[in-house]
Amino acid sequence: MENTKKQKLFEIAALQQGYFTAKQAVHAGFSYRLHTHYKQSGQWLVIDRGVFRLAQFPNSPDEDYVRWSLWSRDRNGELQAVISHESALSIHNLSDVMPSKIHFTVPPGFRKKAPKGCIIHKGRVAADEQEQREGFFVTKPLRTILDSAEANLSIDYLEQAIQEACDKGMVQVIDIVSAEMSEKAREIIMLILKKMKNQAVKQ
């Protein structure tokens, strides 16, 4: 019976790079009363309030995205954070940007304060503007580029991101031009697209 519970919890955690919530542990068959035992025995590492990690699970370069996504969950256990902006550029391998903090977007009504090492952006991310990874969601390349332009990302990084996204077939210029965005973002992006067009003509 215990092995069955452990297997079920492992299957849940494996989809989240070793992380899981107290509620997910209960769903796997571990009553709240048992949690103390597994924490004290070192089998479960306490990461945050109600967030754990299986001690034997190997580390992953993306695990912090999972941690903060689980941290952002609402009372129903639904993830509120979508990894975005510079962090999303890094995930998609667009540009050489190396964010020092994790950026994510949460709904306007989100009330938790940004943890150290994180930057919270408020906004709505539609279902077709995000994609699911192992244990977290990330904005798709087009939304990521628009967010980055709105957030005053360096012109050089933004140009590189747009060029690489187009070269890799992640987005097309027509997608960018026809997307809804602020006037500020449009002015920056159109300037970059014009520069890219002139460079293509010269070649």
Model confidence pLDDT, tens digit, residues 97-141? 999 999 999 999 999 999 999 999 999 999 999 999 999 999 999
What pLDDT does residue 198 have?
83
pLDDT in the model for residue 203: 63
CA 78 to chain centroid, in Å, comes to 14
Distances (CA, A) of 156 to 40, 107, 122: 50, 29, 25
Distances (CA, A) of 64 to 96, 125, 146, 162: 20, 20, 24, 26
Note the pTM of the prediction, 2 decimals: 0.91
Residues of the chain with pLDDT under 50: none
Per-domain boundaries in the chain = 2-54, 63-202
Helix spans in the chain (H): 2-14, 22-28, 32-40, 63-71, 85-91, 141-150, 155-167, 173-178, 183-202
Distance CA 178, CA 67 (A): 35
The pLDDT of residue 183 is 93
Cα 125 from Cα 137, distance rounded (Å): 10
pLDDT of residue 65: 97
The torsion region of residue 90 among left (phi > 0), alpha (psi -120 to 50) and beta comes to alpha
pLDDT at site 202: 66
Whole-number pLDDT of residue 3: 79
What is residue 1's predicted lDDT score, i.e. its pLDDT?
Answer: 60
3-state secondary structure (DSSP) of residue 31: coil
